[in-house]
Amino acid sequence: MGTSIGGGFVDRFSKKPQSQPRPSFVELFTPKLVTVLREGYRFDDFRADVIAGLVVAIVALPLSMAIAVASGATPDRGLYTAIVGGFLISVLGGSRFQIGGPAGAFIILVAATVDRHGIDGLLLATMMAGAIMMIGGYLRLGTYIKFIPYPVTVGFTAGIAVIIFVSQLKDFFGLSLPGKEPGAIIPKLEMLWASSDSVNSVALAVALGTIVIIAGLKKWRPSWPGMLIAVVLAALAGALLQLPIDSIGSRFGGIPQGLPMPRLPEFSLVKMQALLPDAVAFALLGSIESLLSAVVADGMTGRRHRSNCELVAQGAANIGSALFGGICATGTIARTATNVRAGGRTPIAGILHAVFLLSFIIVAAPLASYIPLAALAGILVVIAWNMAEKHEFMTLAQSSRGDLVVVLVTFLLTVFRDLTEAIVVGFALGAVLFIHRMTQVAAIETELPPALDDVADRASGDRSHYDGHLATDPDVVIYRISGAFFFGTAAAIGAALDRIGDQRNAVVIDFSAVPFVDSTAANTIAGVARSAHKHGVPIYITTASPTVQQLLMQHGVSGPGINYRKSVAEAVAEAKSAVREHGISAAPAP
């Protein structure tokens, strides 16, 4: 079978007609939960979802409290977000595996909003953001959010990681500050340095011990819930030894045993106008985070989410979270990946995760009072380290100077200015970089005619007989990408390639008509390659220019299951040979 992909358009001509009927409104916005129940939900599925939901709830319990505290809110608001927001995201969402709740990426924005407008202002901004996300979903804008260049996402994620790390230094070292901790990073660091003589050695020991336990369990017992174990041990030490450090009980008075009654925050037109920039920032970041998380889940499972339905669910979750006193909710990559690895099969795993969290706070809320804030700071330091995108940062730095400029500018603006400004400027730089690369390609090809001349068919031995079987080959599929492969087309082409997992035994991707790829496109191919390798499907990349091949390999398009060949014919022959040799699969044995 052959498929031509160009400019994001996919022409599938083997088994489907070229023009497919557009899905109806109901089909586009039907939650995946409904889809699952229509397909048939068995006891085996329920058992797998129960286990996955429990595992994710154990991970989310300390994480939700830590993120809320770092955001300038009380720990119970993080739990309300995970319970209410997580429940609604799973019930209404367009992904089978998405787990929702508070995210570390929001810490800087939430803390700034609380500082300027108070908790009521935060709740109103969260509801406004939810409404914006729902409107965006119904207008089908979710597709366009995928156009954000890869260096921009790496830059702002790394910048958020730095801000989270710096925000935890006070509790990590148990410092006593002379006044309110500044929000901007430079004044914050100046105040922290000026207070360095007030380090609490007990708090530092608890924070370091938390990190050691999490890191040790991750290495030696990776299936154990390291964060929860570290928090429980820290709480026991605080309760039994009466440690002289701040705890959830001493600073916040503990957490309630259950959900509060829903209520609307105070609002007025003037207040809504003042909060509009914050609401837009929440909506933009929440949309990006949730759809990135859904894409990660797709790559791990080979399934596909519905981005606009997911966006509507995220909006409803933020409105619901704010009504119950929670902070911003979004799809979380770490918890979603945990859900997949734990064997979750349907959105019911996410629903059960929320139910388990509610059960935990009903039963164990009094014990949470003993959790040291230094332990929560240790957890967030680990999160910041994991978020830092260190490998991706170095890969982009080595791939091209243009990508390095985009990622550095986005990173620096995130740390020292504003997240929304960083994303806008980063996107603009990515667009300028694309235009520059296009002019380079045009300059290289100035001597080529606008259309290729006709040539005579000569029996010179350089032409092979037409093989009609290739068009309907049950084993090998050939994809031809034509034109510039960049962040604007990466989402559509990636979605087309993601469908290969269960359809063929080998895939050939022809790059002969691709003048260049950018880092977003290369990262998309790397994700497709990982998904194909999981299904035992080898990928053959043919006729890629040396520059294109080098960039693909820099971004991880190499290793087992990835084969670079000089021609489509050579790749097809090798794939067919492997099919005959291995029987039902062209892939080598894992």
Rg of the chain's alpha carbons, rounded to an integer? 26
% of the chain residues with pLDDT over 70: 83
Helices (runs of H) and strands (runs of E) counted in the chain:
25, 8
- What SS3 class is residue 561? coil
Q: Following DSSP, what letter does each residue of 73-111 receive, concatenated?
A: S-HHHHHHIIIIIHHHHHHH-S-SS--EE--GGGHHHHH
C-alpha distance from residue 507 to each of 162, 482, 501, 547 (Å): 40, 17, 9, 22
For residue range 327-348, list pLDDT tens digits in order: 999 998 878 888 888 888 899 9
> Sorting pLDDT into bands at 50, 70 and 90, what band is 495?
low
Q: What is the pLDDT of residue 444?
A: 44
Residue 188 amino acid letter: K
The whole-number pLDDT of residue 581 equals: 67
Q: Is the pLDDT of residue 136 over 70?
A: yes
Strand, coil or helix: 502:
coil
- The per-residue pLDDT for range 230-248, each reduced to its tens digit, is 988 998 998 888 888 888 8
pLDDT the model gives residue 167: 84
More confident residue, 224 or 197: 197
Residue 92 confidence class, pLDDT cut points 50, 70, 90: very high
Contact 64, 353 (CB under 8 A): no
Rounded CA-CA distance 209/217 in Å is 12
- Residue 440 pLDDT exceeds 70: no
* 235/248 Cα distance (integer angstroms): 10
Q: What gap in Å lies between CA 31 and CA 296, rounded to an integer?
A: 19
**Between the ranges 348-352, 513-517, 530-534, where is the mean pLDDT highest?**
348-352
pLDDT of 17-76, one tens digit each? Answer: 344 566 777 888 899 999 989 888 899 889 999 988 998 898 888 889 888 988 888 999
Overall average pLDDT of the 7-22 stretch: 43
229/142: higher pLDDT: 229
Say if CB 340 and CB 300 are below 8 A apart. Answer: yes
Q: What is the pLDDT of residues 542-583, one digit of tens each?
A: 888 887 888 888 877 887 778 888 888 888 888 777 766 665
334-352 in b/e form (b: 16+ CB < 10 A) is: bbbbbbbebebbbbbbbbb
pLDDT at 540: 86
Q: Is the dihedral of CA 292, 297, 302, 307 positive or negative?
A: negative
Task: Tell the burial category of 200 from Cβ atoms under 10 Å away from its Cβ (0-12, 13-18, 19+).
Answer: buried
Q: Which residue intervals of 139-268 are DSSP H helices?
A: 142-145, 150-167, 169-173, 185-194, 201-220, 226-241, 248-252
pLDDT grade for 498, boundaries at 50, 70 and 90? low
- pLDDT tens, residue by residue, 204-221: 999 999 999 999 998 898
User: What's residue 16's pLDDT?
Assistant: 41
Q: What is the pLDDT of residue 588?
A: 39
- pLDDT in the model for residue 401: 80
Using the predicted structure, report yes or no on whether residue 456 has a pLDDT greater than 60: no
Question: What is the predicted pLDDT for the residue at 173?
Answer: 93
pLDDT tens profile 370-397: 889 899 889 888 888 887 777 777 777 7
Q: How confident is the model at residue 493 (pLDDT cuts 50, 70, 90)?
A: low
Under the banding of pLDDT at 50, 70 and 90, the label for residue 507 is confident
Most confident of 205-219, 361-375, 514-528: 205-219
Neighbours of 193 (CB within 10 A): 10
**pLDDT above 80 (res 464):** no
pLDDT at residue number 583: 52
